[in-house]
Structure 1
């Protein structure tokens, strides 16, 4: 108890001796959009994925399950290290449906709080440790994940299974 009182007293002394004129607040950093954040941290494979996605999705950047299947199968055919037989139209329908379900505001981003359910709905019930690794790799600084990163992550998870 004595130690706690001394600690709190010390903190109060430090805080009360701060000269407010010496404190110059800085502007907060500009918020980063998930796309800009993702593009800055992409591997060569992810840049290729994004380029093909943009070419096939068109200006609206929306894809149908058929377009998604074409994109994914084209990309994985060039990567022998991905151990998958390709994507069926049913799996692509599921991916698009999951994104549509969990992207509630239509922004192309799944919120951090919805990601565990989105992965579970896609057939990947992740433990906390794996989920945290995925968030650090594929999400923006707020833990949100855009469609490209979500699909890219699902491709990797599928190849690992």
Structure 2
């Protein structure tokens, strides 16, 4: 009985992957890669939309998503890169939902701080406040789309720092700093 349930779960997962790949192929065009504009279309018409409470991902957020996942720096995501991004989005969505204790579709800076800290990002309170002011609404509250954008930007910066860090310190020349800032 357990073996049959396991097999059924694997078949459902295989079917889901086939449908996911088919949807990716339909939207990615001839090159079989998605750029930020195609990603914007995918995300704003996906199953995530019901969780966005009439919010949408911005083109800027999609450009950051591509930058985070674009390992070969082509400005586009192949299927494997896209799958990794999708897994991250689903994980971030889970952290957001746990932080959104009143199910309003918005989280405060304090809730964002808890969620980002749970993701392993240890930042000073001033930095969390700056993120809330930069990516939040007028009241500094963040929607799911805004929270994902923040998580992407912070993760990208963490990754860059880790790749250049020696004993917790790093140096960037101006060109490197500009590159990190503009392609994130």
Q: Which has the higher helix share?
A: 2
Instruction: Report the TM-score when normalising by structure 2.
Output: 0.45
Does 1 or 2 have the higher relative contact order (CA < 8 Å, sep 6+)?
1
